[in-house]
Amino acid sequence: MNSNGATTQAMSQVQGFGHFAMLSDEQAEARITAARARLGQRVVLLSHHYQRESVYRHADLTGDSLKLARLAARTDADFILFCGVHFMAEVADILSRSEQIAILPDLAAGCSMADMADLVKVERCWDELAEVFGTPDTRITPVTYINSAADLKAFCGEHGGIVCTSTNAPAIIDWALAQREKVLFFPDQHLGRWTGFKKGIPLDQMAVWDPDLERGGLTAKELEHARILLWKGHCSVHQMFQAGHIQSWRTQYPDGFVISHPESNLDVCRESDYVGSTEFIIETITAAPPGTRWLVGTELNLVSRLAERLKPQGKIIKFMAPTVCMCSTMQRIDPQHLAWALENLANGNVVNPVRVPAREAELARTALTRMLEIS
């Protein structure tokens, strides 16, 4: 096996994507099946819950991003092919063994929320906080949501900070505030606000840091008063949900239940009966009595798949927003890109490997390990 993890004698010319783009979904599916048969146990295929059904059906492992990366790292596969977005493949690379290779079928599959906080802006924020607090490392714990780039996870690792997920955010906030008196939470303000609210932190002690304004648009007094500084970022899907959608639905179905993801805004979370991660949403609705009715505030592919699967139980599951809203960047992973990546891999060619630089990976792993130990 060479340095790219491919068998030398199997190497052949890399196939460009152009031909694959012309394939129908059915043709792509046949080539996916054939390539996987050739690869056998050398590849493990991961799919996030938000992925389209035509890709999701091929997965060996499904779940949220952290669960998948951890599961993949425990496999014996040489290749971890991640049907998700870029930060997920980065986490898979960081947590997997050095000889394993993480692959993203389309490198353009990013995350708009993750892009709202980049390293340059976060470092500038840290410098501006130093103007008010002196050395921020003594007073502020940086916390990044797992939906962020590897270099931001590394920033947290370097500055005594940590990573969180939508599931463990409350425990992580407890830990962070036990280390230092304040938290800088990025990139999703809504998850940070809901978590702080559930921990009993007053809303006026959670200030929004706008990275496009000098010193976040906050005065020194406001910064001193705040316990949590919330980065001005959001998920383009979950911001579509509004409290009015819930109120209208309850008028029609007063006996129904509402469940939302904590990336939704505070009003939506407060109006919901349950709030939790994608795994929590799936588990809660699955465990509910037959015949129950649900309004769900998370990505459409997950909601549609859950509605179809639980229809035989008489459960009615409805997407919260009145307009169609899917994770557009996740949609970039289609059967054509999956067929292209797998067929090249079967021919000995690794396309779109995701490699986090060694020092960055080491620091990011520090922040992730802190999280895993606490969780």
Q: Write out pLDDT tens, residues 118-175.
A: 999 999 999 999 999 998 899 999 999 999 999 999 999 999 999 999 999 999 999 9
Beta bridge partners of 81: 45, 103
Residue entry with tokens 């840290």: 126
Strands 182-186 and 257-260: unpaired
**CATH fold of 8-110+330-356, please?**
Rossmann fold (3.40.50)
Instruction: To the nearest 10°, report the CA torsion of 115, 121, 122, 124.
Output: 180
Q: How confident is the model at residue 11 (pLDDT cuts 50, 70, 90)?
A: low
Q: Write out pLDDT tens, residues 242-296.
A: 999 999 999 999 999 999 999 999 999 999 999 999 999 999 999 999 999 999 9
DSSP conformation letters of 275-313: E--HHHHHHHHHHSPTT-EEEEES-HHHHHHHHHHHGGG
Q: Please tell me if the domain spanning 8-110+330-356 has the same topology as the one spanning 238-319.
A: yes
Q: Write out pLDDT tens, residues 324-352.
A: 666 666 778 999 999 999 999 999 999 99
Tell me the domain boundaries of the chain.
8-110+330-356, 114-236, 238-319
Q: Write out pLDDT tens, residues 202-245.
A: 999 999 999 999 999 999 999 999 999 999 999 888 889 999 99
Q: What is the reported pLDDT for 5?
A: 42
Q: Domain 238-319 is classified in which CATH homologous superfamily?
A: NadA-like (3.40.50.10800)
User: How many angstroms separate the Cα of 296 from the Cα of each of 169, 188, 235, 320?
Assistant: 21, 20, 16, 5
**Amino acid at position 4, single letter:** N
Sign of CA dihedral 133, 136, 139, 141: positive
Q: What is the reported pLDDT for 110?
A: 81
**CATH fold of 114-236, please?**
Rossmann fold (3.40.50)
- Nearest Cα residue to 184 out of 132, 261, 238: 132
Answer whether 0.85 is exceeded by the pTM. Answer: yes
% of the chain at pLDDT higher than 90: 81
